[in-house]
Amino acid sequence: MSPDSLILAYLVLMLAALSILALYSEMLRKRFEPAPSEDRIFRCEKCAFVYTDDSDVERSRCPQCGVTNDRIEF
């Protein structure tokens, strides 16, 4: 084999190994990452307390002071 072929084969093998390692790392990250929450985020207009509530709720009562608040839109 010529030196050019050996260098090309080495480079291709290293790139393939690096690609496989990156795919494996991404699969592990997705498997152990927490699932996104379906809850909605609320911020109290009176006491500025930030809290979450169920996804089917449009207005929610603050657990700190009891004021009813609208959800935060990002």
Give 4-49 pLDDT, tens digit per residue: 999 999 999 999 999 999 999 999 988 888 877 788 889 998 898 9
Q: What are phi and psi of 53, to 5 degrees?
A: -145, 175
Q: What pLDDT is attached to residue 25?
A: 95
Q: Is 56 helix (H, G, I), strand (E, B) or coil?
A: coil
Q: Could you tell me how far CA 48 lies from the centroid of its own chain? A: 26
Q: Could you tell me how far CA 43 lies from the centroid of its own chain? A: 22
Q: Do residues 41 and 52 make contact, with C-beta atoms less than 8 angstroms apart? A: yes
